[in-house]
């Protein structure tokens, strides 16, 4: 019914609307089916097999792969790590980005340079950023070790410490991505009508009251969009883990995607990895559609 309404609306509003839809919609649907729907369906199908990725899958094992996944403590720890990334993103990264955006939104001398300085880490490839920070955290010749030795301390092997390694990962995540969210907030701040601040000043509002009663409500659509990007990005985090820790030490820094890669593809257990991918897909779809349904209905 929605498709019929869409076609009728285009037919009545634009003379060539129906023709345009008939020309451009089928190729788009074909590409979406070939590159999205079919791979998802194949992954769901392979998840029921004990398959190494070679030849044709023949050994049907039903839900055994899923039972092994949820019974694996490394996978459960990977889910906890993804949840930690979400929490740190929402409680540290986004507030930091908003604070920097408020400071840099005005057009003062040097503002553009500061914006670019904070945005540059986002431009850097995740693998490159992971390798850079891997050398900085290195216990033999890294920056932390050099600083520690200057003050009479010893080597700092943070990436070799099971209790500290993921803290290093979280630090790099905040450094890498807060500039992207900062730029989103700056774009939103520059679209706020300045007359609202003038009216608030006439009413005797303090700077904090201006921020809470003018800036935040006017910026709320951009904040919701930023949270949406942060949630999905946290679930799909992979590249930097591979470059920075490789999932170690002792599998303590895996995310769901790195777990899929190392325990599925890396060990030639493609059926098992496909089952992990299906679980990740279901979680991502639930989060994406649930968030849009409950928090972005009016955006």
* Assigned token pair, 107: 């057009």
> Residue 19 domain-assigned?
no
> Residue 259 domain-assigned?
yes
> Residue 9 domain-assigned?
no
Domains contained in the chain, number: 1
C-alpha to C-alpha distance for 45 and 188, rounded to whole angstroms: 44
Provide mean pLDDT across the span 79-87: 95
Domain CATH code at residue 231: 1.10.3720.10
Q: Are 253 and 39 in contact (CB under 8 A)?
A: no
Provide mean pLDDT across the span 164-180: 93
Per the structure, the complete domain to which residue 219 belongs is given by: 61-295
> Residue 2 domain-assigned?
no
When comparing pLDDT for 255 and 108, which is higher? 255
Cα 198 from chain centroid (whole Å): 37
Long-range pairs for 8-13 at CB < 8 Å and ≥24 separation? none
Q: Is the per-residue pLDDT at 7 higher than 70?
A: no
Instruction: Work out the pLDDT band at 1, boundaries 50, 70, 90.
Output: very low
> Residue 12 domain-assigned?
no
- What SS3 class is residue 49? strand
Per residue in 98-151, pLDDT tens? 999 999 988 788 888 989 999 999 998 999 999 999 999 988 888 888 888 888
> Residue 15 domain-assigned?
no
C-alpha to C-alpha distance for 134 and 247, rounded to whole angstroms: 13
pLDDT at 275: 93
pTM for this model (two decimals)? 0.86
* Assigned token pair, 137: 């955290």
Inter-CA distances, 30 with 19, 35, 37, 163, Å: 18, 9, 10, 48
Q: pLDDT > 90: what percent of the chain?
A: 53
Q: Which of 185, 32, 74, 211 is nearest to 119 (CA)?
A: 185
> Residue 54 domain-assigned?
no
């Amino acid at each position: 019914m929605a498709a019929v309404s869409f076609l009728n609306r285009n037919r009545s509003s634009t003379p060539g609307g129906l023709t345009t839809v008939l020309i451009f919609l089928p190729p788009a649907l074909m590409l979406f089916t070939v590159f999205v729907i079919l791979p998802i369906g194949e992954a769901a199908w392979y998840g029921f097999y004990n398959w190494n990725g070679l030849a044709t899958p023949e050994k049907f094992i039903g839900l055994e792969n899923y039972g092994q996944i949820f019974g694996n403590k490394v996978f459960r720890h990977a889910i906890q790590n993804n949840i930690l990334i979400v929490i740190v993103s929402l409680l540290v990264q986004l507030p930091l980005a908003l604070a920097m955006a408020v400071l840099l939104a005005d057009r003062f001398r040097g503002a553009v340079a500061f914006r670019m300085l904070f945005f540059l880490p986002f431009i850097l490839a995740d693998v490159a950023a992971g390798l850079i920070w891997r050398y900085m955290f290195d216990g033999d010749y890294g920056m932390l070790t050099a600083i520690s030795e200057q003050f009479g301390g010893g080597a700092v092997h943070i990436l070799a410490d099971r209790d500290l390694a993921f803290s290093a990962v979280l630090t790099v995540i905040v450094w890498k991505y807060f500039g992207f969210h900062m730029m989103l907030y700056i774009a939103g701040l520059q679209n706020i009508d300045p007359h609202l601040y003038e009216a608030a000043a006439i009413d005797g509002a303090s700077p904090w009251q201006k921020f809470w009663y003018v800036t935040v409500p006017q910026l709320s659509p951009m904040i919701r969009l930023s949270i949406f990007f942060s949630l999905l990005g946290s679930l799909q985090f992979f590249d930097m883990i591979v470059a920075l820790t490789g999932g170690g030490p002792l599998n303590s820094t895996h995310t769901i995607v790195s777990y899929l890669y190392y325990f599925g593809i890396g060990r030639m257990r493609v059926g098992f990895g496909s089952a992990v991918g299906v679980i990740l897909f279901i979680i991502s779809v639930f989060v994406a559609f649930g968030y849009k349904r409950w928090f972005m209905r009016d955006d």
